[in-house]
Amino acid sequence: MADNVIKTGTTTIGIKLADGVILATDRRASTSFAVDKGTRKLFKLSDNLGVTTAGAVGQLQVAVRFLQGHILEYNIKKGVPMTVSTAAVYTSRVIMGLEIGLIIGGYDSTGGHVYEVAGDGSSLEMDYMSVGSGSVFAFGVLDAQYKPGMTKEEGAKLAITALSSSLKRDLFSGDGMLMAYIGPDGYQEFSDEEIRSICSSIGFSQYPN
């Protein structure tokens, strides 16, 4: 990949909860420097599915639009929401050969699920996952603090703590956060005010950047 291709460097996170999942990302896009400080790396795929993105921005944008359209068509034809496992397998085929990495998270009749989906065609279900240049820092927090059966509130605090670690140490992650909860009532994205409030509640005096 050429050095001047805009990439999302990034830290992306998925966490399985007792009744759903949390997805979270930073907002920086970069080449050899920060290109954009408001990049969206978290997307709603359907009412019960979301995705985080890391890699070449152009490839990611095309892949997300394609997935959104296919999942909508599937749901209409089948009359039921696509399961998380089906979405992960299908996504692995769509992005095979691309230099991108995704986390598919969602909620279906069997509960919440988190999958890492890579450009080599693999899709792996995990209790928690981080993808991107800052993932090594996020994993340090996730490995230490994750526990099965976490609530929405606990998962949100863990995601923000893990992201904050990456934002402090990884040059290619930063400029704020996006976060969503997907559970029995569907896809719910946290507002910036809600994220700031959680940051304050866990002792971050300033909104991480």
What beta strand segments (E) does 42-88 contain?
A: 42-46, 49-55
Q: Which of 10, 39, 52, 161 is catalytic?
A: 10
User: What is the per-residue pLDDT for 3?
Assistant: 43
Residue 103 pLDDT > 80, yes or no? Answer: yes
Model pLDDT for residues 40-61, shown as the tens digit of each residue? 899 999 999 999 998 888 888 8
Domain ranges of the chain: 12-201
Question: Above pLDDT 90, what percent of the chain?
Answer: 66
Residues whose CB falls within 8 Å of the CB of residue 80, separated by 6 or more in sequence, listed in order = none
Global confidence as pTM: 0.90
Burial profile 172-199: b = 16 or more Cβ within 10 angstroms, e = fewer: bbbbbbbbbbbbeebbeebeeeebbebb
Report domain 12-201's class.
Answer: alpha beta
Question: Which of 37-41, 70-74, 162-166 ranks highest by mean pLDDT?
Answer: 70-74
Give how far the C-alpha of residue 128 lies from the chain's centroid of Cα atoms, to the nearest Å.
11
> Could you tell me if 44 and 106 are in contact, meaning their C-beta atoms sit under 8 angstroms apart?
no
Q: How far apart are CA 92 and CA 84, in angstroms?
A: 12
52 is catalytic: no
Q: Of 6-20, 76-90, 159-173, which gets the smallest average pLDDT?
A: 159-173
Residue 127 pLDDT > 50, yes or no? Answer: yes
Residue 6 pLDDT > 50, yes or no? Answer: no
User: How confident is the prediction for the chain on average, in pLDDT?
Assistant: 87
User: What is the per-residue pLDDT for 204?
Assistant: 73
Q: Of 53-62, 104-113, 134-143, 144-153, which gets the smallest average pLDDT?
A: 53-62
Q: Of 43-52, 114-123, 168-177, 192-201, which gets the smallest average pLDDT?
A: 168-177
